[in-house]
Amino acid sequence: MGKKIIIGITAASGTIYAKRLLFYLEKYHTQWDEVAVVFSENAKKLWELEIGEKLEIPFKTYANNDFMAPFASGSAAFRDMIICPCTMGSMGKIANGLAIDLISRAADVVLKERGNLVLVSREMPLNAIHIENMRKITAANGIICPASPSFYHNPQSIEEMVDTVVFRALELIHIQTKQKNWGD
């Protein structure tokens, strides 16, 4: 059975991260068999506000209230999930086992099935509750991947900075990228 990936997109500012993530998933299509995408309602609005484009993506999408989506159950064998960007509210739901929408339910399933859950947090500053939620997710084998671009390769554009985060998130679910690593 091939790699099945869930992408959750929530309404933290930084939808360019989600746009670039979807772009690279399409580019690296030989490394996965299925990609499913879930937007929170506010993420759809924020996409159009920040990206300035109508929301059109090349993957099957599911409504955030669609608990009949295949990956709402562990039997569907989706074992990789990236939430990008991930709001602190979504992170709080996941950290506390509140599977009240499809994004939080899918994350809960990935954790219980011992899959790869990557949360690309973008918000700052953080309070003690945010940090505790990050600790809980890490203790459950989730990965917090802050949207903190690297600069050691002298990026020349916003896209190049964003790509350093996107490539790292993809590598955390074992998608090989063309990112230059430290020492390259």
Give me the pLDDT at residue 1, please.
54
* Spatial contact of 155 and 149, defined as CB atoms under 8 Å apart: yes
Give me the pLDDT at residue 56, please.
87
Where are the domains positioned within the chain? Answer: 4-172
* Beta-sheet strands, E only, within the chain: 4-9, 34-39, 60-62, 80-86, 116-121, 143-144
C-alpha closest to that of 137 among 158, 116, 163, 161: 116
Give me the pLDDT at residue 179, please.
79
Token readout for 72 is: 């709402």
What is the CATH architecture of 4-172? 3-Layer(aba) Sandwich (3.40)
Q: How many residues are recorded in the chain?
A: 184
C-alpha closest to that of 169 among 59, 77, 99, 86: 86
3-class secondary-structure state, position 144 = strand
Token readout for 70 is: 């295949």
* Spatial contact of 37 and 59, defined as CB atoms under 8 Å apart: yes
Across the chain, which has 184 residues, the per-10-residue mean pLDDT values are: 92 96 97 98 95 91 98 96 98 98 99 98 96 99 97 93 97 91 72
Q: At what angle do helices 15-27 and 158-172 cross, to 10 degrees?
A: 60
